[in-house]
Chains A and B, each alone.
Chain A
């Protein structure tokens, strides 16, 4: 995943300097209390409850047009996406995993989220058009840090969804053959 947010780079990006970084580093201990992604049957390895709400919002925008449209099915699919991201992040070695966690922290903590993405409401209340706008900005940003972060989110969200057999019918993939 992405190498993100060395102190020097964050300052270079001019989104608020050291104070913002310090706050971002606090973000991981500042867990949001309520989340629809708190089913005790799946103990999360990496994602805090705030991270899960963030991935659900980002995943919802990234996978618009791919996820089911019926609300209950869409919500269930998003839970699958969030869990898949958690599994994928847990499978990384410490250095890339640490970078990814810094990204999640930046996006989950309200103040850094606001500065970095322009989204000042909580992730669960963020208008989808704002999420799309932030992703599009990062995708083509002149700031390498944001471009890298977009690609990290893209890879892990798409891998989570298209690695999951619930996504296959829509794209016409029959799944692997049965053998023996």
Chain B
């Protein structure tokens, strides 16, 4: 029997409220209210609680923990993902995997933990006035969070799905690396994406959120932040809707919270939407724009040997070769990784239908799948998308795929096919409605060159939403400053991936942890008059 730290904490008397059980309105007061409990909100909650501040965390999703995690897609996607794992951009061209549960995406991600690439920081310093964003200044905060979350390069041999990336790339002289992961005592099961059933993944759910609750923080679940109320040029309150137990629909009851400081940490779609609903000053129309996705292309191979891509740590080998050799002013660069191969996900992304589709699904244990994550936002041909509100005030991301990204998607399909054949694949198939399994690199090269790069033919997905409340020194081009403070509203902070002025060029969780731990420490110092160092934890 695996001990469930959440069940134990609740027994000990953590202040966790489920808003779906309310039978009247609720009002709370705090020093700081944090909207969202993902990488940003969880990190901020622990740091601010440790500083002695009274913190309230607001979460739309449910509090689920290891005893609820059964490694079943059909349970996990509806329970823990935005739109059951099928959140889509406005034109439906990109499907977005994003968490919606206590711990946010950290509860369901694949544990890859990279520091922000040096070139990305350099670009921010040069283009957005973020002079403090030097590797030297941030390094203590990355180190702090790496210790807190037990981040280390994966020491166990990679599973075969990852090993194929390593072998194929090596044959072509393309360097690869081992992914650092935030796990402790990992069982190497392979189901990180469905919630870790053994509590090995050091997500916010089992680290900083319990840390904050131990120090007297309050967590309200099934509670959707609707808007900030303003008084002059400060936020005076947060108005939330209590949701029903499904988390889909509002109940008649509201939750209002008054605090000295307000932190938005709902991620790069929900945070800009919350601010858009709130009459927050937006004088230069920067709110919600420049939202980035690391658009992903997918290549599936059939191997002569058993791969079992559903088994073993899902993401342990990567290559930055096509980022490092790509100048920002040239064609878009991409990072190579692999995803886990789960039946629902694989069945629903694979093109076609009927017998052809069924035959593509046969022998799933012999399938190898590779992904390329495109580094968007570093070039004036790559402006990303923008968050809008629908008629019902729910958010929607409009991300038209531009020719610059289409070109990168095609080039990445070529790269992946070449690597898969080099590793011994008997066939390679891009995930694209007009593609079929190609049996040689020569055939693949010729066919991929001809594939129409068109909406809803080429499958594009994303698991990384970034930007929309960009930080920068100039209020004409940025929403918040380098400390995460809103340029026009002094007691409003944004502590999540929406502050990134470009995409990251790597899986973003550790970038969020590092930037937010810095900014939350600065906020704690400002609010308490004490000085905190990165040794705080």
Contact = CB atoms under 8 A, between A and B. Distances in A.
B455 A144 contact: yes
A2 interface: yes
B456 A151 contact: yes
B92 interface: yes
B450 to A, nearest CB: 15
Interface stretch (A14-22, A27-35, A71-79, A92-100): A92-100
Contact of B86 (A63, A147, A155, A177): A155
B61 interface: no
B191 A176 contact: yes
Nearest to A148: B92
Contacts of B92: 2-3, 148, 151-152
A58 to B, nearest CB: 9
Interface centre among A170, A176, A180 (most CB of B within 10 A): A176
B390 A155 contact: no
Given A84-B74, A176-B72, A162 B455 contact: no
B359 interface: yes
A93 B353 contact: no
Contacts of A2: 88, 92
B172 interface: no
A106 B65 CA distance: 40
B346 A65 contact: no
B310 A173 contact: yes
Contacts of A64: 353-355, 358
A163 B344 contact: yes
Contacts of B352: 139
B2 interface: yes
A172 B354 contact: no
B241 interface: no
Is the interface on chain B under 10, 10 to 19, 20 to 34, or 35 or more residues?
A: 35 or more
A158 interface: yes
A162 B346 contact: yes
Interface residues of A, number: 45
B73 interface: yes
* Dominant SS among interface residues on chain B: loop
Interface string A95-134: 1100000000000000000000000000000000000100
Interface stretch (B201-209, B277-285, B362-370): B362-370
Contacts of A152: 92
Nearest to B353: A62
A76 B246 CA distance: 28
A159 interface: yes
A176 B348 contact: no
Interface in B87-126: 88, 90-92, 95
Given A144-B455, A162-B346, A179-B189, A95 B354 contact: no
A82 interface: no
B440 interface: no
Given A96-B83, A179-B2, A172 B363 contact: yes
B343 A171 contact: yes
A108 B86 CA distance: 23
Given A151-B456, A179-B197, A162 B362 contact: no
A1 B346 CA distance: 17
A2 B95 CA distance: 11
Nearest to B311: A177
A89 to B, nearest CB: 9
B70 interface: yes
Contacts of B396: 95
Interface in A126-172: 132, 135, 139-140, 144, 147-148, 151-152, 154-155, 158-159, 161-164, 167-168, 170-172
Interface string B495-519: 0000000000000000000000000
Interface centre among B84, B350, B353 (most CB of A within 10 A): B353
B1 interface: yes
A126 B506 CA distance: 49
Given A139-B433, A147-B456, A158-B347, A176 B71 contact: yes
A179 B363 contact: no
Interface centre among B88, B187, B191, B356 (most CB of A within 10 A): B88
28 contacts: A1-B88, A2-B92, A3-B92, A62-B353, A64-B355, A65-B354, A65-B356, A66-B358, A92-B86, A95-B390, A96-B86, A132-B354, A139-B353, A148-B92, A151-B92, A154-B353, A155-B348, A158-B357, A159-B348, A162-B346, A168-B343, A172-B362, A172-B364, A172-B365, A173-B343, A176-B72, A176-B191, A179-B198
Interface of A: 1-3, 61-66, 84, 87-88, 91-96, 132, 135, 139-140, 144, 147-148, 151-152, 154-155, 158-159, 161-164, 167-168, 170-173, 176-177, 179-180
Rank and list the top 7 A-B pairs by shortest CB-CB distance, nearest first: A162-B347, A65-B355, A65-B358, A176-B71, A163-B74, A91-B78, A163-B344
Given A162-B347, A163-B73, A172-B364, 11 more contacts: A1-B86, A3-B90, A3-B92, A63-B358, A92-B248, A93-B83, A93-B248, A94-B249, A135-B353, A154-B348, A162-B361
